[in-house]
Amino acid sequence: MDIELIELFPNSIKLILSDITLAFANAIRRISLADVPSLIIEDVYVLRNTSPLFDEFIAHRLGLIPLKYDIDALELNFRDECDCGGIGCNLCTVTLTLSKVTDGQTSAVVYSGDLVSSTEGVEPIKASIPIVKLGPNQALELECMAQLGVGKEHSKWQPVAAMGYQEFPNPKINKEKCTNCLVCVDTCYTGVFQKVGDSVQVANPLSCTLCNFCIDQCEPGAISIQKESSKVIFSFETTGGMEPPTILKKAGNILLTKIDEFKKTLETTLSEKEKD
Ligand SMILES: [Zn+2]
């Protein structure tokens, strides 16, 4: 296997994975979506709410605010696996409080930045996510409990968004059949082709989405797009809570754990069968 890093930003990544199968890429994708844990507000205790939105509406909005944290430094337990028995303690729960009151003259928007975390390093990914607008003489006081969860339980715990892969494209122009009509340059919405001088060239092969629209529009045989099935372009965005490489490493570890569990269970089953 070979991995080539094409792009890496705090919230997104693009890789080329070589000598792998699509099934393997899909396993990493599905584990990242469903099994990699993230920290999100789950329970909200409403102490005072005279805002225009009712309690459940605000609790729902709070649950959709991604939290930034270092999952390895925090070493949180899943709440249902914690020694506290799921009641909630500092080993499985992070508390965030919010208190905002307006006077008789002014109104104010309550933002995610108004949440105050009890644990250092845990905070909303952005301070500017609006929660509710308070009119004059209104108040919102809350205590929120954030806990680890996984995407298969509720999509709010998915640490990634727009995660996908595609077979590696290899667009080529047959110079003998190309009439330089430039239709491919005009119709390819991802800008794979470019006019260089009087001819057309493949300028951005990695942008090709394998839609084959250029082939349909152009002279027959002038453009060919082959797929390399043992090579995939793998890309995704995160919700901002964890960095992309951290998510991929976690997904790899979870896959190894699952394979280990499978091996152990198989060995146990076979040894029991031998005893019979
Ligand atoms: Zn606990």
Q: pTM of the prediction?
A: 0.84
Q: How far is the CA of 146 from the centre of ligand 1 (A)?
A: 12
pLDDT at 142: 95
Name all domains of the chain by residue range, CATH numbers in brackets.
Answer: 2-34+161-237 (3.30.1360.10), 38-157 (2.170.120.12)
Q: What is the pLDDT of residue 256?
A: 96
pLDDT of the residue at 180 = 81
pLDDT digits 0-9 by tens, 43-56:
999 999 999 999 99
Alpha carbon of 84 to ligand 1 centroid (Å): 4
Q: Work out whether the CA dihedral 183, 186, 190, 195 comes out positive or negative.
A: positive
| Cα 118 to ligand 1 centre (Å) | 15
Q: 94: CA distance to ligand 1 center in Å?
A: 10
pLDDT recorded at residue 218: 84
Please state the length of the chain: 276
* Best CA proximity match to 233, nearest among 164, 150, 186, 133: 164
Contact 11, 244 (CB under 8 A): yes
What does the pLDDT profile of the chain (276 residues) look like in tens digits? 899 999 999 999 999 999 999 999 999 999 999 999 999 999 999 999 999 999 999 999 999 999 998 887 888 999 999 999 989 898 999 999 999 999 988 999 999 999 999 888 899 999 999 999 999 999 999 999 999 999 999 999 999 988 999 999 988 888 888 888 888 888 888 888 888 887 888 888 888 988 888 888 888 888 888 888 789 999 999 999 999 999 999 999 999 999 999 999 999 999 988 887
CA of 254 relative to ligand 1 center, distance in Å? 22
23 CA to middle of ligand 1, Å?
37
The token duo for 114 is: 């108004």
Burial label, 263 (beta-carbon count in 10 A; 0-12, 13-18, 19+) = exposed
**C-alpha of residue 79 to centroid of ligand 1, in Å:** 5
Ligand 1 centroid–CA 147 distance in Å is 10
Dist. CA 117 → ligand 1 center (Å) = 17
64 CA distance to ligand 1 middle (Å): 22
Distance, CA 39 to ligand 1 centroid (Å)? Answer: 14
How far is ligand 1, taken at its centre, from the CA of residue 54, in Å? 29
pLDDT at 83: 93
CA 37–ligand 1 middle distance (angstroms): 16
